[in-house]
Structure 1
Amino acid sequence: MCRVVDLRQAVLAKNDGAAQALRDELTARGTTVVNLLSSPGSGKTALLERELLLARERAVPVAALTADLATENDALRLARSGVPVKQVLTDGLCHLEAGMLGRHLDGWLPEDTRLLFVENVGNLVCPAGYDLGESLRVVLASVTEGEDKPLKYPTAFGLAQLVVVTKTDIAQAVEFDEAAFRANVERVNPGVEIVMTSARKGEGLGLLLDRALAAGTGAGTHTPVMARRQPATGHDHGAGHDHGAGHDHGPRHDHGHGHDHGHLHGHGHGADHGSDHHHHHGPGHAHDRTPASGADHEHDHDRGHDHEHPQVQPAAQTR
């Protein structure tokens, strides 16, 4: 008799195991991981830079790892805060995975790090399904993205433990309807906290840092309803539908057969097709280099070959 194996489920189950092992290891050493997800251009790098600076002022030991398909731009910006920063280039992979994160932290993350902010690849589809061993999952959306964003990406917003709205300084100019946005978030993730921020004006500055520190103690961390509705088969059937036989992995396990289906391809060709739709690059190799800014830089293709590269000079920031 032929047995059908769900390859995606197997891949995610392996990731979940690696994520829990990483979470246990980091928790034991007093490090809290914060996973930041958003669309490209949401302003999460600008906000994170301000939060890192504030953490340094408060003498909170922090570090940041940022992932992109290409360029070191985000790491160079974040490194200006003076905290340890590493850039990971995925070369087409649309998300980070727990095993990948663990390899990049090995030998790099300072032992006394209290908070590790992970700036995931910029899209709201692929990263939503992968637990990174985080203690706090944050989804960010700018006021320019539309009030219906949570309804378009119910898995990402439905599994968030904190929702951050960015660029509020231009909310009036773009006619952002905050009440409608809040109502839509409530539909997919009842009870999740929503904070309003502006990196430019300083509105809400420090709230992300405060929530991250609280998550490290387990104080008041939100558990999304969707996380409690994961069926035993490991498939996510979207927000608001309980298919029974579930198990609670926390807000980090979407197994991707809900509204966001069809955007993750197990053996793609590394091309970025835009609109939050990317291909899984598959096996490859890792490269290390340390730019003059102090930010580490790596490519990740999962084959473990390390090659040194010339130092990269920091680029001027474009605001």
Structure 2
Amino acid sequence: MNEQRIQIVQNILSANDAIAEQNRQLLSKARLFSVNLMASPGAGKTSLIEQTIKNLSQDYRILVIDGDIATTFDADRAIAAGAAAIQINTGGDCHLDAVMLNKALIQADLSRYDLLIVENVGNLVCPASFELGTSKNVLVASVPEGHDKPHKYPSMYRGVDYVLLNKIDLLPYVDFDIDFFRKGLEALNPAVELAFVSCRSGEGLNNWFQWLRNKICEYRAS
């Protein structure tokens, strides 16, 4: 990468960070706890969102902002599960950025909600570079992806606050080394929280639900 290209990339990221700070202030003013939910395609982001809505919607008002290259499939699923949803179609971009999120945020009355879940575009590379301004960054990994992903995608795993290893019901059928995965994650991000879950069976999801409840309360009290 030559110096000119490096400068252009730095300028893009700096501009994005400035808008991300605006998003952070908007969410803070509304006292709205938010998560940027990232994963590779098919890891189970939308399934996790559906389970989260079903578990928390009696106590919390939930808004989902769905990012995808095309279709409204994921937003439709969030609405069917009982949440409000806004769809962002990137038209080809492999990630959401702060500007896209800002345009969605100003459409909504943020004061009406207690929890915002931003479902980023399925990708383990680009989303890691673009701060959105959310309270926390969360990653859904999955057993079928393999145990080497923390080693292969260090920027993603280094920058998240919570990791859910999904599809653990498939462990008997897949060559997945949990210790190798855990050691790779802890080497990059010693403070990260890790949960083992199955969105199909519900196993382990109570840890995630309680984490959200705790963080919503902490955010409101701060």
Letter of the structure 2 residue corresponding to residue 40 of structure 1:
P
Question: Does the 8 A contact of 1:23 with 1:134 survive in 2?
Answer: yes
Question: Does the 8 A contact of 1:63 with 1:109 survive in 2?
Answer: no
Mapping for residues 17-96 of structure 1, pairs under 5 Å? 17-57=18-58, 59-96=59-96
Which stretches of structure 1, 4 residues or longer, exceed 6 Å deviation after superposition? none
Q: Secondary structure at the match of 1:171?
A: helix
Letter of the structure 2 residue corresponding to residue 51 of structure 1:
T
Question: Does the 8 A contact of 1:63 with 1:117 survive in 2?
Answer: yes
Q: Matches of 2:208 and 2:106 in 1, distance apart? A: 26
1:14 equivalent in structure 2: 15
1:237 equivalent in structure 2: none
Question: Does the 8 A contact of 1:199 with 1:205 survive in 2?
Answer: yes
Shift of 1:179: 1.5
2:189 equivalent in structure 1: 189
Q: Matches of 2:213 and 2:25 in 1, distance apart? A: 17
Mapping for residues 126-275 of structure 1, pairs under 5 Å? 126-216=126-216, 217=218
1:263 equivalent in structure 2: none
Q: Secondary structure at the match of 1:139?
A: strand
Q: Matches of 1:124 and 1:109 in 2, distance apart? A: 31
Q: Matches of 1:60 and 1:213 in 2, distance apart? A: 9
Shift of 1:188: 1.4
For structure 2, which runs of at least 5 residues remain unmatched after alignment? Answer: none
1:281 equivalent in structure 2: none
Shift of 1:82: 1.5
Q: Secondary structure at the match of 2:20?
A: helix
Q: Label 1:52 to 1:33 Cα distance change in 2 as closer, same or farther (>3 A).
A: same
Letter of the structure 1 residue corresponding to residue 166 of structure 2:
T
Instruction: Identify the range of structure 1 (168-177 vs 90-99) with the bigger mean alpha-carbon deviation.
Output: 168-177
Percent sequence identity over matched residues? 38
| CA deviation profile, 1:241-284 (whole Å, cap 9, x unmatched) | xxxxxxxxxxxxxxxxxxxxxxxxxxxxxxxxxxxxxxxxxxxx
Question: Does the 8 A contact of 2:97 with 2:132 survive in 1?
Answer: yes
Q: Matches of 1:29 and 1:163 in 2, distance apart? A: 26
| CA deviation profile, 1:133-182 (whole Å, cap 9, x unmatched) | 11110111101111110110000001111111001111111132211111
Q: Secondary structure at the match of 2:18?
A: helix
2:97 equivalent in structure 1: 97
Q: Secondary structure at the match of 1:111?
A: helix
For structure 1, which runs of at least 5 residues remain unmatched after alignment? Answer: 220-319
| CA deviation profile, 1:44-90 (whole Å, cap 9, x unmatched) | 11111000111113x21111111111122111212111110111111
Q: Label 1:63 to 1:209 Cα distance change in 2 as closer, same or farther (>3 A).
A: farther
Q: Matches of 2:170 and 2:200 in 1, distance apart? A: 10
| CA deviation profile, 1:67-122 (whole Å, cap 9, x unmatched) | 11112211121211111011111110111111210111213244221110000000
TM-score, normalised relative to structure 1 = 0.64
Which has more helix, going by share of residues? 2
Shift of 1:43: 1.0
1:121 equivalent in structure 2: 121
Letter of the structure 2 residue corresponding to residue 127 of structure 1:
P
Letter of the structure 1 residue corresponding to residue 187 of structure 2:
R
Shift of 1:218: 5.3
TM-score, normalised relative to structure 2 = 0.91
Letter of the structure 2 residue corresponding to residue 149 of structure 1:
K
Letter of the structure 1 residue corresponding to residue 25 of structure 2:
D
Instruction: Identify the range of structure 1 (86-95 vs 200-209) with the bigger mean alpha-carbon deviation.
Output: 200-209
Q: For the pair shown, which has the larger CA radius of gyration, 1 or 2?
A: 1
Q: Matches of 1:35 and 1:121 in 2, distance apart? A: 10
| CA deviation profile, 1:8-56 (whole Å, cap 9, x unmatched) | 1111111111111211221121101100111001011111100011111
Q: Matches of 2:211 and 2:21 in 1, distance apart? A: 21
What is the aligned length? 216
